[in-house]
Amino acid sequence: MTDAIAKESIQQLFTEARTHHGWLDKPVGDDLLHAIYEMAKWGPTSANCTPARLVFVKSQEAKAKLIPTLMGSNVAQVKAAPVTVIVAFDEKFYDHLPVLFPFMDLKPMYASDKALSEVTAMRNGSLQGAYFILAARALGLDAGPMSGFDNAKLDEAFFKGTSWKSNFICNIGYGDATKLYPRGPRLSFDEVCKIV
């Protein structure tokens, strides 16, 4: 049996964590990006398929490629953030299954069923994106996940000729608390949940 984590950890990961839109001018080192991945990679996925792919957009050249794909206020947020992560998934994740899931030969099942492989990649890649956000928070960073971009344009700019597809983008860094929006409400247990 595992003990519950400390209240302060729960606050940092969930109850006091906020979605940031403004960023302090403080860099995020590549070593920290490695550490986030090394933590997040342990989150569970079906058949250990791990389809998420991450592109850490830091350089001015890479941001110049990303900005034309963005909508509205996302442009300013990405310009200000020290790192914007493209959380993508590999539609051909199954090529790695012989290594990742050696207990059973599942590659043919996914390779022969495009609809199954697409939904599996999207679902599990989304899970991994959430693990990534929690890992960033656990290591002291703030996160600002976003939609509000043109997936086709982004995929053309970053993933042309590959089997990678964008899911969402997420700014990470040290958030500027003076630019936080009022905290949005959440639905209650009874509005969302059933115990059957």
- Which among 108, 184, 139 has a CA at the least distance from the CA of 37? 139
- CA quadruple 177, 180, 182, 184: dihedral sign: negative
pLDDT, mean of residues 45-60: 98
Q: Is the pLDDT of residue 1 over 70?
A: no
For residue range 112-135, list pLDDT tens digits in order: 999 999 999 999 999 999 999 999
Q: What's the pLDDT at 124?
A: 98
Q: Angle formed by the axes of helices 30-40 and 114-138, to 10°? A: 120
Confidence class of residue 2 from pLDDT cuts 50, 70 and 90? confident
Q: What's the pLDDT at 61?
A: 98
- Cα angle at 148 between 11 and 167, to 5 degrees? 75
Sheet holding 83-90, edge to edge: 52-57, 83-90, 164-173, 142-146
Q: Is the pLDDT of residue 192 over 80?
A: yes
For residue range 152-191, list pLDDT tens digits in order: 999 999 999 999 999 999 999 999 999 999 999 999 999 9
Q: 3-state class of 102 per DSSP? A: coil
Q: 3-state class of 72 per DSSP? A: coil
For residue range 82-99, list pLDDT tens digits in order: 999 999 999 999 999 999
Query: Quick one: what percent of the chain has pLDDT higher than 70?
Result: 99
- CA quadruple 150, 176, 131, 13: dihedral sign: negative
Instruction: Calculate the average pLDDT of the chain.
Output: 97
CA distance 133 to 130: 5
